Chains A and B, each alone.
Chain A
Amino acid sequence: MNDNTNLKEIDTKVLWDLFITFFKIGAFTIGGGLAMLPVIEREIVDKKGYIDKEEIIDAFAVAQSLPGIISVNTAIYVGYRISGIIGSIVSTLGTVLPSFITILIIAILFPAVSGNIMVNKALTGVKAGVAAVIATSVISLGKRVIKNVFAVILTVVAFVLAAVFDFSIVFIILAGGLTGYIYYTLRRIKHDTP
């Protein structure tokens, strides 16, 4: 990958497509930033091929380890990779607009807001659905990057630390990076020395 070229030229059609795609992504990311991943994977990686699976994982790594809103971070990353600064502005606008419009309407129409049984049921259904599509993404992404025993160990340890012991995400990502650096550098040294 070159450091200064975008994956796609700055082209109005691409930008518009980016906007629409991220608008869809933004509209269906309910319940938490990570729910965005399966939708992004399907829309951007599988359908449009703008970015490959490895890169989307990198986007998520960056998005989770930096402060700020995960879904916005991801949109900025992907948008920038595809079409530079303009791309990142367009993708962010797309992601933010659905919620901005929805909440604005709610704020204008309803001075007091409250819950609703039907909505809660719909939401629980959505969360079950999201758990399922995330699981599918995990399997397809995992196949791509878990290719040796070392990666398997890293994955299992990271999962246990996160899901069971509730370790800080930033810590886990940094530890993973450090471990990877040590392991692969040592492996390279061993390989290179005759």
Chain B
Amino acid sequence: MTLLKLFYVFFKIGLVGFGGGYAMLTMIQKELEIQGWITAAEFSNIAAISQMTPGPIAINAATYVGYRVEGFWGSLLATFAVTLPSYILVILVLRFMMKVKESKWMESIMKGIRPVTVALIASAAIFFAYESFVDLSLPLFIDWGAFAIFALAFLASFRFKVDTILIIMLSAIAGMVIL
């Protein structure tokens, strides 16, 4: 029964998908192609769309493919299936963490993990920089238009504490106007 298969495939994607959107891309594509639910061309389109819309690729793929395969209920089921593994795992880990939070050994581990997490987040900033104002084909590797947006946005958020969502919206508009 297709609904069951839809659930199973997207549950698997939600469970095994590691490392965030881009790492998951190939895995999602393979799974969907095996089922014959999507062609490579259609998938690259939905991946591109996913870049432009809110939401991670896994959820967008689930919603889109679910709809194509079994209509509205398909999209609902697939989206639910892809989030379920997260649900179970995070809550289990969180309950464990909350129990041991007071213990010294846990606190030591977390004191190691926190700076590391901040570093990983910083490397995410590098990733977004690469996708916007760092362009290896240009002289000095910088797209000055996009860099201007970055600089203004940084000034606005760091110095003037402008609302984050407002900055993102203005950046989008700036992109259309300046670039």
List the interface of chain A (C-beta within 8 A of B): 1, 3-4, 24, 26-35, 37-39, 41-43, 54, 57-58, 60-64, 66-73, 76-77, 80-81, 85, 88, 92, 96, 98-100, 102-104, 106-108, 112-115, 118-139, 141-142, 145-146, 151-152, 154-159, 162-163, 168-170, 172-173, 175-181, 183-185, 188
Contacts and interface: CB of A to CB of B under 8 A. Distances in A.
Contacts of B3: none
Contacts, number: 379
Counting chain A CB atoms within 10 Å of each CB, the highest count among B67, B68, B99, B165 belongs to B165
A158 B68 contact: no
Interface in B77-129: 79, 82-83, 85-87, 89-91, 93-94, 97-99, 101-102, 104-105, 107-129
Contact of B118 (A32, A99, A125, A138): A138
Given A57-B117, A92-B87, A180 B109 contact: yes
A172 B18 CA distance: 14
A103 B167 contact: no
Contact of A69 (B82, B112, B127, B178): B82
Given A67-B15, A132-B154, A158-B120, 11 more contacts: A32-B21, A88-B90, A99-B55, A103-B50, A103-B53, A113-B49, A119-B52, A121-B179, A123-B52, A173-B116, A185-B108
B140 interface: no
B59 interface: yes
B58 interface: yes
Contacts of A126: 168, 171-172, 175
Given A99-B55, A129-B150, A181-B105, A135 B125 contact: yes
A118 to B, nearest CB: 6
B59 A80 contact: no
A125 B178 contact: yes
Name B's interface SS. helix
B121 A34 contact: yes
B14 to A, nearest CB: 6
B90 A76 contact: yes
A122 B90 contact: no
Contacts of A158: 115-116, 119-120
Contact of B114 (A58, A120, A172): A58
Interface of B: 14-22, 45-46, 48-56, 58-60, 63-64, 67-68, 72, 75, 79, 82-83, 85-87, 89-91, 93-94, 97-99, 101-102, 104-105, 107-129, 131-133, 146-147, 149-154, 156-158, 163-165, 167-176, 178-179
A37 B93 contact: no
B87 A88 contact: yes
A128 B175 contact: yes
* 4 closest A-B pairs by CB: A180-B112, A125-B175, A99-B55, A129-B171
Counting chain B CB atoms within 10 Å of each CB, the highest count among A27, A29, A180 belongs to A180
A121 B51 CA distance: 12
B108 A183 contact: yes
Nearest to B100: A3
Given A31-B131, A127-B131, A129-B170, A145 B114 contact: yes
Contact of B107 (A34, A41, A184): A184
20 contacts: A35-B124, A42-B163, A54-B114, A57-B118, A66-B93, A67-B15, A77-B90, A80-B90, A103-B67, A107-B68, A112-B45, A125-B171, A129-B168, A131-B132, A131-B133, A168-B19, A172-B120, A173-B120, A180-B109, A180-B110
